[in-house]
Amino acid sequence: MGNQPSSDGSTSSASIFDAAQTLALDKIVSPQPYMMSDNVWSTFFTLQQPLLNMQTDVLQPFFRRYAHNFGTISLEYLTNWTPAKNTLDSGNFRMLVRHLTRCIRFARSWKEPNAATKVVATELPQIVNVLVVVRSFCQEFIQSSGDVWTYLKAEGASKDLTAVLERRPTLNLEPSFGILLDDVAFEFVDTLFLVLLEAPNEDTYDIYLEALNTVLVLGTSSTFLDFVLHHAALQERGKSIVWATGLVKRLLLSYLDQIPAPRRDAASAIAALAVLPASASKWSVVDYFTETEVFPIADRSALLLLVLVSSRQDQNAFRDALHNLADRDESTATHGIPFSQLASVMGRKMDLEFNITLLYYCLTLNPLFRDALCRPLDVDHFVLPLLEAVYNCKSGEKLYMYLVVLLYLTENPILVQTLHQSQVTDPVLWYTERYMCDVSVGSIVLILLCRVVKANLAVYKDPFVHIAAFSTMWNVMQFAKHLHQTAAQSLVLLLTHLVKKERQFRAATDWDSQEAYLTSIRLLLANLELCCCSARLIPYNPQLMYSLLHASKVLELLQDHPNDSVRDDGALIQGVVAYLKAIVDQEGTSEHENDELPPSLSVEQVYELIQLGCKKLAPSTSHDQPSVYYCYEEDRDADKFFQPFLRRLVVDHTQDLAWNR
């Protein structure tokens, strides 16, 4: 057909392409349609510049101008939600994708061309360049209109434009809608997934990475996710039968392989480096780019898996595939990976937000994975890195994910007992507020939870963080034995802080804040009562009783609280503390009866008396096991949280893709 570029498609700015490819691109984005056999395609596919390595500030403005020309919107169709009149008139974007799909399949040896099939490029570097172009256009289309499928469906002037618009995708995606039956859309997605189903190597690293980039970009469109989930569930076309099982396994294996970026100056490597925490990178510019390894494929494989499994639609084959994934440490099932290796990699990346989110989904969707974590529990390389990440967390959303993981883990009684039995003999260096050594992991968990509750009430004010923190505390307190001094003091200091703040807000008639602190007091008292008033636990927690004895004035304030529920909640604890105080007082001198602790007794003597008193309260150790645990259940409206949350994760970890913030 015509071979002259339209004035609508021309650009005046300097091009990053050679003159021939620039002219070809001007033609492609114009309203003038070009047939599959036109030379404009073979010319454009001779791109030699390594676009995948170019920096964002070069690529973004260049492709945005061309995408704008592609997406010139006619005012006549604005009321009908019409994008990209140029490509609706020409169908050139659809034609570009058809050529690209053929080239990828031929280059990867999945499809041999026949005499009637024209393959315009056979070299992977050139194909990768065109895939970068297509991905950039898709990204601009989605960010400007939220849609890419209408562009992809448009067949050009040979079809009635109104008919094309009437077949635009809708959110329910019933099979009668054209996009589900569209061969070009399906072949393109199927081809990208075929690339991702094969393990990347040195030769295929670039196309694998760019296929990941493209699917991640498309994944920001809800229509794309509906399209993928629909075909993955039907398993009727192409390789859709292995989309779910194959991709879930392959993406996790790519995450485990941790293949380093071959070029540290590539855009994806720099983007991966930019989001590393400060502790993981060097201060020296030379070291920053030469010694710190980054793994763009591993990171983006995890991100894509999160995007695919996050949807709670009734038929999500990707969630089912993750649920059914076997542990290759215990099974020879084909659909499986070694869970011990997965836990090891997660432990090394615990401070990364996408990593804790992946851990969340593995735990909540695959019960075998939690069992594998406890067989045996790796305290040094999994639990302690998780707790360190909680300690350093400064984001409410991220903190919630950590707490949910802790809550889900502490639903297992055996794991909680292991936490209390596991001793950290060396100093806990990352905990900078106080020197700690010879402390149980269970005590560390309680120390951090006290810190989280206090920070959430003052800063985050997130009700979900609040619930997760106290629920986890309850589960951990079920088997709390021999609590470390710092843990006991943290619990009592938290109670003191809550009582003080609640009194202040009550006096200031700030009823919302007062209610938040009042609720926290009651929850904390319930946790303390579990240890202080249980025959099963009180003989093993004299340190906690010692700390409460020092805080008897706080308990007296609760005894005079105007709220009946608070007085009732604290009554049992006050009774136990009063009993122990009486035992200590009997050993002291009568003239010091108004003191909290008789000064005539040493700390060691007081502690011994408390130990004896605790044993008298429970003369025979109870073997009753706790019957009430808090369990995590994902909210039915979890998509409202996870969809924007995951989109932000994708944007943060793929800054080389030039997202509009």
Domain boundaries, the chain: 1-168
Closest CA to 479 of 432, 420, 438: 420
Its pTM stands at 0.87
CA distances from 596 to 299, 545, 580 (A): 56, 13, 12
- The predicted structure's pLDDT at residue 619: 62
Phi, psi of 440 (to 5 degrees): -75, 155
- The predicted structure's pLDDT at residue 307: 96
Report DSSP state, residue 220. T
Q: What angle do CA 229, 233, 234 make, to 5 degrees?
A: 120
Closest CA to 73 of 87, 84, 89: 84
- The predicted structure's pLDDT at residue 661: 66
- The predicted structure's pLDDT at residue 238: 85
For residues 657 and 219, what is the distance between their CA atoms, to the nearest angstrom? Answer: 14
Report residues of the chain scoring pLDDT below 50. 1-12, 72-84, 158-178, 281-289, 590-591
3-state secondary structure of 377: strand
- The predicted structure's pLDDT at residue 288: 46
What amino acid occupies position 225?
L
- Separation of CA 251 from chain center: 15
3-state secondary structure of 387: helix
- The predicted structure's pLDDT at residue 162: 40
Give the side-chain half-sphere CA count within 13 A for 32.
Answer: 19
Contacts of 454 (CB under 8 A, 6+ apart): 494, 497
Structure tokens at 366: 């695959």
CA distances from 120 to 31, 42, 408, 442 (A): 22, 5, 53, 63
Helix, strand, coil share of the chain (percent; to 5): 65, 0, 35
* Residue count (the chain): 661
Where are the extended beta strands (E) located within 353-407? none
- The predicted structure's pLDDT at residue 214: 97
Per-residue pLDDT of 234-253, as tens digits, reads 888 888 889 999 999 999 99
Structure tokens at 170: 């809708």
CB-CB contact of 28 with 92 (8 Å): yes
